[in-house]
Amino acid sequence: MTKRKLTLAQEYLRDFCILLALALSIFLFIKIKSWTAETQTVKLTSSGEERSYQIYVPKSYDPDTPAPLVITLHGYTSNPADAIYSSRWNTLADEEGLIAVYPLGYGSPTYWHISEYGYGGRSTQTEIQFLSDLIDRVEENYNIDPARIYVNGISMGGGMSYVLACTLSERIAAVGSVSGAYNYPLNKCKAAKPVPFIAFHGTEDTAVPYDGAVISEYNITYPSVPVFIQAYANQNQCSSTDEFPQEGEISSTEYTHCAQNADVILYTIHGGGHTWPGDTPAATPTWGYTTQQIDVTRLMWQFFEQHPLPVNN
């Protein structure tokens, strides 16, 4: 009789352990699945319109630990897939534990509204609201460190990153730009606080010329990149300027001792085209030369890491 009771007790214990293990496995599967998937497309309604973005969450993501968020904006006529391929932020996400997001611009062909009155008759505010809503959505679904939200982009996406530095400065810790189209007037930049800025531009960029240009067809004026960056640094109240002469294909200008540590750096790629430095060069270089001397993505990340949102923001 005693032996039978022990056997029943053992059976109950065995069954309980099996059920517990099964429940735990299901729980862990559901919990882990959300951040071990590949890049996912997410739809979002903003300003009454359906928009979308792609998001990459590294396997190392821990929901109990706040993660940095890096938003990358593609160029005119481009898309998130191109931004993912060129920038390789997903690789940095795996290495550094950041969450990478790639929004899709508006229209066909795609673009961002960054001119004074809104390219195509739409308000620049529409894009600002979309990207603000996007940050809200990502923060709802993941544990994001509010002091480490960064934005970067290429061409028109770089210009839009600058616009966000002007309009979402209380949320954006720092911005980066490659071949940026800065046709949003600096005198309209009314940032609530200075935002650190790192820029890269090729001297042989024919799409957004390094020395500036007037595109009368679209009523767009591109400022001289060095002049624009210096003016931005002045707005950040930077008091020190360091010029680093050309080594190989690269020279740089660093503006430091700025208000709230909002440093500004311009990397000049001598002979560089309208491309992402460090990206795999195209077989047919339509947009010019791509230097391999620097890896823009890693340089941006180093800069971002040094510039979280100020504690007293």
Over the stretch 71-122, which tens digit does the pLDDT of each residue have?
999 999 999 999 999 999 999 999 999 999 999 999 888 989 876 545 555 7
Q: 271-308 pLDDT, tens per residue?
A: 999 999 999 877 567 889 999 999 999 999 999 999 99
Q: What is the pLDDT of residue 37?
A: 47
Give yes or no for residue 257 having a pLDDT over 90: yes
Range name among 97-101, 118-122, 208-212, 227-231 with the lowest pLDDT average: 118-122
Q: Give the pair of three-digit tokens for residue 272.
A: 């560089």
Rounded to whole angstroms, the Cα distance separating 61 from 193 reads: 30
**How high is the pLDDT of residue 59?**
94
pLDDT at 21 over 60: no
- The counts of H helices and E strands in the chain are 7, 12
Confidence of residue 19 (pLDDT cuts 50, 70, 90): low
pLDDT for 23 beyond 60: no
Which of 145, 175, 180 is CA-nearest to residue 307?
175
What pLDDT shows up at residue 311?
74
The pLDDT of residue 117 is 46
* DSSP H helical ranges for the chain: 2-36, 80-87, 89-96, 124-141, 156-167, 225-235, 296-305
- What pLDDT, on the 0 to 100 scale, is given for residue 38? 79
pTM of this structure: 0.87
**Residue 14: predicted pLDDT:** 61
DSSP β-ladder status, 197-202 and 250-256: unpaired
Least confident of 30-39, 89-98, 170-179, 205-214: 30-39
Integer angstrom CA distances of residue 122 from 106, 115, 116, 218, 219: 10, 10, 10, 14, 15
**Residue 39, number of CB atoms within 10 A of its CB:** 16
The pLDDT assigned to 139 comes to 98
Q: Is 293:249 a contact under the CB 8 Å cutoff?
A: yes
Residue 261 has pLDDT above 60, yes or no: yes
105 Cβ contact list (under 8 Å, min separation 6): 73, 74, 76, 78, 79, 111, 112, 156, 157
Which phi and psi angles does 248 have, rounded to 5°? 70, -115
**Separation CA 188–CA 144 (nearest Å):** 30
Q: How confident is the model at residue 224 (pLDDT cuts 50, 70, 90)?
A: very high
Q: How confident is the model at residue 216 (pLDDT cuts 50, 70, 90)?
A: confident
Banded pLDDT at 197 (limits 50, 70, 90):
very high
What angle separates helix 156-167 from helix 124-141, to the nearest 10 degrees? 80
CB 69 within 8 A of CB 144: yes
Mean pLDDT of the chain: 88
